[in-house]
A and B are shown apart, each in its own frame.
Chain A
Amino acid sequence: MIGFIVLLIFVGIIIVAFSAIIQSSLADSIILFMGVGLGSVVLFFIFKAPDVALTEAVIGAGISSLIFLMALKHLKAQV
């Protein structure tokens, strides 16, 4: 049962990551990148790494995507 869920999340992460690459708008790519982070949080938790899961939830899916969005805002203002 757990193995099936893990397989589903794996496939989901790969699909989300691939669609993040092929987006034409950078903002959409960043939002999809957050999705990759969320999927890996569940994976880390199942793989007995709760410390890494908490770090990924806070830094990978939270702050780093927001920093990407802010950097995108500054880039748009410069171009």
Chain B
Amino acid sequence: MKPAIRLMRAARRDRRRLLRGAVAAAGAAVLTGCDRLSGNEAFVDMLKSAEHLSRVAQKVVAPRSAMAQEFGAGDIAATFRSNGTLSPVDADYRQLRDGGFADYRLSVGGLVDRPGEYTLADLRAMPSRTQITRHDCVEGWSCIGQWTGVPLRLLLAAVRPQAAARYVVFRCFDSMDGPGTDSRYYESIDMDDALHVQTLLAYELNGQPLPVSNGAPLRLRVERQLGYKMAKYVRAIELVDSFAAIRGGHGGYWEDEGYEWYAGI
């Protein structure tokens, strides 16, 4: 080979190596930069501003009354996937469960005129709604099941919310970070969702009493949001004007861990 050609090839090889190195370095810089930005409060706040935009936009195109899709009996999944807590370890829950939830009382309070306590029999005696809907997990999977329960709006009508009430908070039995920690699951929704026709306190799945792994004896169904909004093992309901003073202040267990409060997306 002529030395000139050899030199030219070497130069081209060097340039290619340089280019490859530059691309790799740029890639590494992007990754490190993005990781650093994920820890920067102001930047994350900017990212989170999209949540409000999404909520407002979604409420405009899919108004308050818009219905979640309902399916046919043939669409029901053979086994409904359970996620999150599968069996609460908390002593008060286990005691109730061992007694077949006969001693279960749902307490409803906060900004209401007629706070009250409801047994499962009380709730079953109220008008019910049955719906076959799709459950969408934030992880990405979906599962179709049939839910029966009392529409939350009927229960709210019975306790008479005060004008100041803006959110409904659901307090649950299951401690997420082990027993004895102040980590019981909780969630909150606004009045638009609370009064929606398809928002239920469900006590049946596919015609059977709610299994423990799916939230027995009572779980929330908010069909136009993701699964983590639909609190299982509901213990108490509280109407509030703000959830800023509750636990981490973000309106739910996963919200305090960084997930969006508005989970319609």
A and B interact:
no
B: residues with CB less than 8 A from A are: none
